[in-house]
């Protein structure tokens, strides 16, 4: 025997063997996650059975669904006893579900355009790091454009409203040097005076660039939910911040006004406030006054959600270590500066989940307006659609559709907020 | 229909109706539109169609009044109201009249300070049962589970009926009619009870309506009619007699098809002549011109036509005339004479 043959040390590497099949890919994943123990295996099998039953039960309903039929009876005739959804109600009443039953059909492009522009307007706010700051100008103009598009009427109305805001801002900055508090009040008064005066000035411009006006009571469908949601969330955030700061203020009057407001609004159900907006206000206003119903509802919902947001932000403020306040003071910053630069950025970051929670809840609460006979999407379904002789008896299809619309919106908001939290993450946990 | 009116009662009673009481007619004429309160949607009685045009049995009353007062059946602003907002809307002056299948009861007429001007539909509470239950009378429902809307007068009527007949039942409380339909179909209760007209439309929406029957017993009186505010009797008269004109027109054989011909010149029947304004001046007595009733009938048809078009046997709702037939045909529809 030669020396080599006697060697018991391997002189070359064996090729790498593949791992056993049970330890790779899908099988490994299944073994580890679904069948790791007898109890786990049992649970997996039971769940798989339940899912299978649900899918098998629901699938024919979707697959046999009828998308084109004039009425529920016709739908059932087409189905001929088979299980199937009657989605034709969605195609036939599509515009009613989105815009309500009284918005003029030839004007549907206006709210649609306003909806598209909404994304353009919020993008610079939501993705402030990635888009040029100049785009914020459009965001500032958007409320006036959207108002003009949705309600129509002469362009003078939103233009004068915008001018009033500009006058207010101008006065604010002129007086900012003297005192911030005086500047806010003076700016507000200046805008108010301008708006009152513009009421007299506006008449000659009424015919100029006037689009067909649409009354508030003609609006409906998912459009109302979106309008109320967007307007109330964007208004209640700044108001909520002010209330939260006011509640922590050392000035007793401001503090108590904020405390009473927050506690009162939080102690009252939203639906009560809506009833007040709808029926009770009519008694207090002089007969014949027509205070726009949507405006009344916007005010009530904004009050409601700003009280909640104030409490969420107060939580954020309380979570900041005292050292942050003291650090701001020791840098010689005044109150406004320390809030803007040190406190609020951190407090708001902490409050994001809470704020989003309130925003999502508020958006879903907008369906409550159906009880004060406004035709939002739920009002449209419960009222005109289910009460029409053609579609009486259709439930799953229409309410499912409303669920889908709300889910898309709310899930989008929640995904954005999680993304934002990751963006703002500065600690190293 | 008979939802609890707690909130409405509270607000109405708490704050006396402050709206200007008199001269609703002048307000309507100046406005050029009639503000008419209707339901947010009830099959056959009031609902906007696919084009957003309001249609239904109650809607026809609004249109008839608008045609009589303003000469245009489309000059109506329909204000949708819920069971909770309807009375405050009327009391605050937001609407000129309410045609929202509202039951005429003592307290609504007196305590809430409204005037019911008449009855356009005599309803009553009935029972819907599956045929397979093998029941032919409500008195055989001993021990049955009953789906019942909570907080309504139907709940009280039900308790009264079962107690009076000395039989027992088990209530299954539900919130809305839609929920009632679902629960009943799912077999959560043996029978579903609400107004007979509601039962008929509910049954019509079933996949197999033939498998269900409405029992013959009607256990309550639910006279549904239009109403106006207390304090303006002239306006109340106009609404009352417009409704009566539609009812009388059917009795006298005046239809939307022949009203133009009959109203062009005085004919052989003096009551038709007075109704259509070719003789006498009844219109002036209510502050309108003499063609008022002619316009109302031409716009919506007589009572029978309105019934047939919206809730009659040829519609999916398929209600028989029953009590709502003319008194000459065995019903209790009876308009005072036009004289």
| Cβ separation B80–A383 shorter than 8 A | yes
| Cβ separation B178–A382 shorter than 8 A | yes
Closest residue in A to B205 (Cα) is A393
- How confident is the model over A321-349, as pLDDT tens digits? 999 999 999 998 888 888 888 999 999 98
Q: For B124-221, which CATH superfamily applies?
A: Periplasmic binding protein-like II (3.40.190.10)
Question: Tell me, what's the pLDDT at A302?
Answer: 93
**Interfacial residues of A (vs B; Cβ cutoff 8 Å):** 72-73, 76, 92-93, 96, 101-102, 217, 275, 278-280, 282-283, 287, 370-373, 375, 379, 382-390, 392-393, 395
Alpha-carbon span A360 to A370, nearest angstrom = 18
Closest residue in B to A70 (Cα) is B50
- Residue pair B289/B295 in contact (Cβ under 8 Å)? The answer is no
- Residue pair A148/A155 in contact (Cβ under 8 Å)? The answer is yes
Give the domain ranges of chain B: 27-120+225-324, 124-221
Q: Out of A92, A102, A282, name the one closest to residue B52 (CB).
A: A102
| pTM of the shown model | 0.80
Nearest-5° angle of CA B115, CA B120, CA B121? 120
Rounded to 10 degrees, what is the CA torsion of A171, A177, A181, A187?
Answer: 0
| Cβ separation B80–A102 shorter than 8 A | no
| Cβ separation A278–B85 shorter than 8 A | yes
As beta bridge partners, residue B145 has: B170
Give B320 to chain A, closest Cα distance, Å: 17
Alpha-carbon span A198 to A192, nearest angstrom = 10
Alpha-carbon span A227 to A142, nearest angstrom = 13
Host H or E run for residue B72: none
Alpha-carbon span A56 to A185, nearest angstrom = 64
Q: Taking residues A226-249, what's their average pLDDT?
A: 92
Q: Please give the DSSP secondary-structure letter assigned to residue A86.
A: B
CA B249, B254, B260, B263 torsion-angle sign: negative
Question: Tell me, what's the pLDDT at B14?
Answer: 38
Q: Out of B11, B41, B85, name the one closest to residue A384 (CB).
A: B41
Any domain includes A351: yes
What Å distances lie between residue B7 and A268, A287, B111, CA to CA? 16, 21, 14
Determine the straight-line distance between the first and last CA of chain A, rounded to whole angstroms: 65
Joined tokens for residue A24: 């790779």
Looking at this predicted complex, what is its ipTM? 0.73
Q: Taking residues A148-154, what's their average pLDDT?
A: 87
**b vs e for A153-186, b when ≥16 Cβ sit within 10 Å of the residue's Cβ?**
ebbbbbbbbbbbbebbeebbeebeeeeeeebbeb
Decide the pairing of beta strands B169-174 and B47-48: unpaired
Residue A366's domain is classified under what CATH number? 1.10.3720.10
Beta strands in A67-207 (DSSP E): none
pLDDT tens digit at each of 339 positions of chain B: 344 444 444 344 334 444 444 589 999 999 999 999 998 878 888 888 888 899 999 999 999 999 999 999 999 999 888 777 888 889 888 899 999 888 898 888 999 899 999 999 999 999 999 999 989 888 899 999 999 887 677 888 899 999 999 999 999 988 777 778 888 988 899 999 988 888 887 887 787 888 999 898 889 988 999 999 998 999 999 999 999 999 999 999 999 999 999 988 888 899 999 999 998 889 999 999 999 999 999 999 999 999 999 998 888 888 888 889 999 999 999 999 998
**b vs e for B197-226, b when ≥16 Cβ sit within 10 Å of the residue's Cβ?**
bbbbbbbbbbeeeeebbbbeebbbebbbbb
Question: Tell me, what's the pLDDT at A102?
Answer: 85
Question: Tell me, what's the pLDDT at B216?
Answer: 86
What Å distances lie between residue A126 and A326, A349, A360, B192, CA to CA? 31, 14, 16, 52
Question: Tell me, what's the pLDDT at A6?
Answer: 65
Helix (H, G, I), strand (E, B) or coil at B271: helix
| Cβ separation B88–A92 shorter than 8 A | no
CATH number belonging to the domain at B27-120+225-324, selected among 3.40.50.2000, 3.90.1170.50, 3.40.50.1000, 3.40.190.10: 3.40.190.10
What Å distances lie between residue A386 and A223, A240, A365, B80, B318, CA to CA? 19, 39, 21, 15, 17
Domain that holds residue A256: 220-423
Any domain includes A417: yes
- Residue pair B153/B104 in contact (Cβ under 8 Å)? The answer is no
Alpha-carbon span A45 to A67, nearest angstrom = 36
| Cβ separation A387–B7 shorter than 8 A | no
Closest residue in A to B317 (Cα) is A389
Taking contacts as CB-CB distances below 8 angstroms, the residues of chain A near B79 are 217, 373
- Residue pair B277/B249 in contact (Cβ under 8 Å)? The answer is no
Question: Tell me, what's the pLDDT at B175?
Answer: 72
- Residue pair A184/A62 in contact (Cβ under 8 Å)? The answer is no
Alpha-carbon span A215 to A295, nearest angstrom = 12
Per-residue pLDDT band at A252 (split at 50, 70, 90): very high
Pick from B54, B72, B36, B33: which is nearest to B296 by CA?
Answer: B72
- How confident is the model over A32-85, as pLDDT tens digits? 888 889 999 999 999 999 999 999 988 998 898 888 888 888 888 888 888 888
Joined tokens for residue A115: 């909806």
Taking contacts as CB-CB distances below 8 angstroms, the residues of chain B near A61 are none
Q: Taking residues A309-321, what's their average pLDDT?
A: 93
Any domain includes A205: no
| Count of structural domains within chain A | 1
A180 pLDDT higher than 60: yes
Alpha-carbon span A380 to A374, nearest angstrom = 9
Q: What is the DSSP string of B247-262?
A: HHHHHHT--TTTHHHH
Q: Rounded to the nearest 5°, which phi and psi values hold at B116?
A: -80, 125
Helix (H, G, I), strand (E, B) or coil at B85: coil
- Residue pair B200/B315 in contact (Cβ under 8 Å)? The answer is no
Looking at every residue in chain A, the average pLDDT score rounds to 87
The residue among B7, B40, B78 with the most chain A CBs within 10 A of its CB, best to mutate, is B40
Say how many C-beta atoms besides its own lie within 10 A of residue A308's C-beta.
21
- Residue pair B169/B95 in contact (Cβ under 8 Å)? The answer is no
| Cβ separation A384–B19 shorter than 8 A | no
Those of residues 131-170 in B touching chain A at CB distance below 8 A are: none
């Amino acid at each position: 025997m030669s020396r080599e043959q006697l060697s018991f040390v391997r002189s070359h590497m064996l090729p790498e063997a593949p791992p056993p099949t049970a330890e790779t890919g899908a099988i490994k994943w299944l073994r580890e996650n679904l069948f790791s123990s007898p109890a786990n295996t049992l649970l997996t099998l039971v769940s798989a059975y339940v899912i299978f039953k649900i899918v098998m039960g629901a699938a024919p309903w979707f697959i046999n669904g009828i998308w084109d039929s004039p009425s529920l009876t016709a739908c059932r005739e087409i189905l001929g006893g088979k299980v199937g959804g009657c989605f034709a109600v969605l195609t036939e009443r599509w515009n009613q579900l989105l815009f309500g039953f009284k918005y003029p059909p030839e004007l549907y492009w206006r709210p649609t355009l306003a909806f598209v522009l909404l994304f353009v307007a919020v993008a610079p706010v939501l993705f402030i790091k990635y888009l040029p700051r100049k785009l914020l100008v459009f965001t500032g103009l958007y409320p006036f454009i959207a108002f003009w598009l949705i309600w129509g009427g002469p362009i003078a109305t939103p233009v004068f409203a915008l001018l009033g805001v500009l006058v207010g801002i101008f006065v604010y900055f002129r007086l900012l040097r003297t005192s911030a508090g005086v500047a806010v009040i003076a700016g507000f008064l200046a805008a108010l005076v301008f708006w009152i005066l513009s009421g007299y000035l506006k008449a000659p411009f009424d015919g100029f660039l006037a689009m067909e006006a649409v009354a508030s009571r003609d609006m409906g469908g998912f459009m109302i939910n979106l309008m109320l949601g967007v307007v109330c969330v964007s208004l209640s955030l700044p108001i909520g911040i002010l209330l939260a700061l006011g509640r922590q203020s050392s000035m007793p009057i401001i503090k108590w006004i904020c405390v009473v407001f927050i506690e009162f609004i939080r102690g009252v159900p939203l639906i009560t406030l809506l009833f007040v907006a709808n029926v009770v206000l009519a008694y207090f206003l002089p007969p014949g006054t027509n205070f726009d119903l949507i405006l009344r509802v916007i005010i009530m919902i904004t009050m409601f959600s700003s009280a909640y947001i104030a409490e969420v932000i107060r939580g954020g403020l309380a979570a900041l270590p005292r050292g942050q306040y003291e650090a701001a003071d020791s840098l010689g910053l005044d109150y406004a500066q320390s809030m803007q630069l040190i406190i609020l950025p951190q407090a708001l970051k902490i409050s994001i989940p809470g704020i989003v929670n309130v925003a999502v809840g508020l958006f879903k609460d907008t369906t409550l307006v159906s009880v004060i006979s406004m035709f939002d999407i739920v009002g449209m379904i419960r009222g005109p659609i289910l009460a029409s002789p053609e579609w009486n008896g259709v439930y799953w299809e229409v309410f499912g559709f409303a669920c889908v619309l709300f889910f898309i919106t709310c899930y989008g908001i929640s995904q954005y907020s999680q993304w934002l939290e990751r963006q703002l993450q500065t600690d190293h946990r | 229909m008979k939802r609890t009116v707690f909130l409405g009662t509270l607000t109405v009673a708490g704050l006396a109706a402050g709206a200007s009481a008199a001269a609703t007619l002048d307000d309507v004429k100046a406005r050029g539109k009639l503000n008419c309160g209707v339901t947010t949607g009830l099959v056959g009685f009031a609902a906007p169609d696919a084009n957003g045009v309001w249609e239904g049995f109650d809607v026809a009353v609004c249109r008839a009044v608008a045609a009589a007062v303003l000469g245009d059946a489309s000059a109506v602003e329909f204000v949708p109201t819920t069971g909770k907002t309807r009375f405050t809307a009327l009391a605050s002056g937001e609407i000129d009249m309410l045609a929202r299948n509202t039951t005429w009861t003592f307290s609504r007429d007196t305590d809430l300070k409204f005037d019911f001007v008449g009855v356009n539909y005599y309803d009553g509470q009935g029972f819907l049962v599956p045929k397979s239950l093998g029941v032919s009378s409500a008195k055989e429902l001993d021990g049955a589970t009953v789906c019942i809307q909570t907080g309504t007068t139907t709940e009280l009527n039900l308790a009264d009926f079962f107690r009076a007949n000395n039989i027992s039942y088990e209530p299954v409380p539900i919130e809305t009619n839609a929920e009632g339909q679902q629960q009943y179909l799912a077999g959560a209760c043996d029978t579903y009870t609400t107004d007979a007209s509601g039962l008929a439309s509910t049954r019509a929406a079933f996949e197999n309506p033939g498998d269900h029957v409405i029992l013959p017993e009607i256990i309550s009186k639910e006279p549904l009619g239009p109403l106006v505010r207390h304090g303006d009797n002239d306006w109340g008269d106009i609404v009352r007699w417009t409704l009566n004109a539609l009812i009388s027109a059917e009795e006298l054989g005046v239809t939307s098809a022949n009203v133009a011909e009959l109203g062009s010149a005085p004919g052989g029947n003096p009551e038709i002549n007075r109704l259509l304004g070719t003789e006498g001046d009844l219109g002036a007595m209510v502050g309108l011109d003499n063609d008022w009733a002619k316009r109302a009938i031409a716009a919506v048809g007589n009572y029978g036509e309105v019934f047939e078009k919206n809730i009659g046997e040829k519609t999916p709702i398929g209600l028989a005339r029953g009590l709502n037939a003319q008194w000459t045909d065995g019903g209790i529809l009876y308009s005072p004479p036009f004289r």
